[in-house]
Structure 1
Amino acid sequence: MKLFVATKNQHKVDELKLLLHEPTIELVRLPDGLPDAVEDGVTFEENAMKKAVFYSQLVSGKVLSDDSGLVVPMLNGEPGVLSARYAGKHGDDEANNERLIERLREVGVVEVPAYFACALAIAQAGQVLVTVEARVSGTVYTERRGTHGFGYDPLFTPYGHKHRYAEMSPEEKSLFSHRAMAVRMLRDRKSQWMSHESVS
């Protein structure tokens, strides 16, 4: 079965392939040239559903959408649903990290509690088939470490671990990351979304 992934971030596609590990499911990127979905939801789940529904009306088959980000309660939830475009330009990891570091320094902290959230939605022909959301709590720092991963991985260490996400191999991170937890939840509910026939 072909499952379209509603993202332009190849890192997410690769990570989802590693995490889903379903030999009968082929994860593929959306065709080139499709318009951008409007992500104006106030929660990760809303945005995931919006993207999945939007693209499922433009392609033939099921669409998996991921909306995820970092939430820092001390910063009133920033960067939250704006995680990918926190500094203004979508997907500029370096600028987003620098913006977060600046905000933490503005409030006078070098480390603070935070959590990563990941919402996944699968839709087909404009209908949401399933949604899940997972969170991993930890600490975010003003000092970067590590060279792996993407996004805010150099700044975040999950509770119970000594290393930042960016210091972990993809295999190590996949054991307990927010996206890994969400994918496991999705796999547990596979019968709910796999049973729908593909639209031709």
Structure 2
Amino acid sequence: MRIVMATQNANKVREFAQLLGSRVDLVLLPSDLPKAPETGETFLDNARQKALFYARYVEDPVLADDSGLVVPALGGEPGVHSARYAGEGADDRANNDKLIRALRAKGLRAADAWFACALVVAHKDQVLVEVEARVDGMVHDAPRGDRGFGYDPLFSPHGEARRFAEMSSEEKHRFSHRARAVRELVERLPFVIDREGRSSTGENALS
């Protein structure tokens, strides 16, 4: 089964492909499409906007996610602005640096935080399924590790001293918000996919 992921971030597609396994052929969004709006007040709002927007342009179902880090001590920042916390086009390092400065401005070396992930699958003009998941932990004022992406060097899940960026992909998937959301997504998809990527009725899934 082929699904288009609503992103040009190859790291994100790679991580989701690992989580979904061989049941899904996950591909990057075509690069010539306009940018979807992300004006929602919640992660789920933004994921839904993106999925429905890009489903108008491609034949295959679209999987959109909106993920981010929430730090209550910072008033919920960076929240839905996680990917552009340091400004439009900001890279991971700039976003991490801004978060570190915000923590230190509050006199914090670490603070409670959680990663959230909302996933929406849409086909044409219809939302097929939407789920949300989160992982609680701590955010720190100094990065560690060189794996992962985003805020992974600053975040450690509860029960682990290591940051996400210090874990292998398999170790991170035991905790991560994306892994939890994908597991729920697979359970709630409105069809049953067998090993060949076909529905339980023998029809092509989502055909």
Report if TM-score (shorter chain) is over 0.5: yes
Question: Are 2:6 and 1:6 equivalent residues in the alignment?
Answer: yes
CA contact (8 A) 2:129 2:189 kept: no
CA contact (8 A) 1:69 1:117 kept: yes
Let me know the Cα RMSD of the aligned residues.
1.4
Q: What TM-score, normalized to structure 2? A: 0.91
Q: Post-superposition shift, 1:144?
A: 0.6
Number of aligned positions between the proteins: 197
Matches within 5 A, 1:1-200: 1-21=1-21, 23-90=22-89, 92-192=91-191, 197-198=206-207
What is the alpha-carbon distance in structure 2 between the residues aligned to residue 150 and residue 144 of structure 1?
12
Segments of 4+ moved more than 2 angstroms: 190-198
Please state whether the residue corresponding to 1:120 is helix, strand or coil: strand
Please state whether the residue corresponding to 2:190 is helix, strand or coil: helix
CA contact (8 A) 2:63 2:120 kept: yes
Q: Post-superposition shift, 1:197?
A: 3.2
Aligned-pair identity (%): 55
Q: Deviations over 1:134-161 (max 9, x none)?
A: 0000000001100000000000000001
Q: Post-superposition shift, 1:125?
A: 0.5
Q: Post-superposition shift, 1:193?
A: 8.5
What is the alpha-carbon distance in structure 2 between the residues aligned to residue 197 and residue 158 of structure 1?
36
Q: Deviations over 1:158-194 (max 9, x none)?
A: 0001100000011110112000000000011133587
Counterpart AA for 1:58: Y
Q: Post-superposition shift, 1:89?
A: 3.0
Please state whether the residue corresponding to 1:191 is helix, strand or coil: coil
CA contact (8 A) 1:117 1:178 kept: yes
Counterpart AA for 1:19: L
Q: Deviations over 1:40-63 (max 9, x none)?
A: 101000000000000001111200
What is the alpha-carbon distance in structure 2 between the residues aligned to residue 148 and residue 130 of structure 1?
30
What is the alpha-carbon distance in structure 2 between the residues aligned to residue 118 and residue 99 of structure 1?
21
CA contact (8 A) 2:138 2:155 kept: yes
Structure 2: gaps of 5 or more residues: 194-198, 200-204
Counterpart AA for 1:8: Q
Residues 88-97 or 31-40, more deviating: 88-97
Q: Post-superposition shift, 1:24?
A: 3.5
Please state whether the residue corresponding to 1:74 is helix, strand or coil: helix
CA contact (8 A) 2:2 2:61 kept: yes
Q: What TM-score, normalized to structure 1? A: 0.95
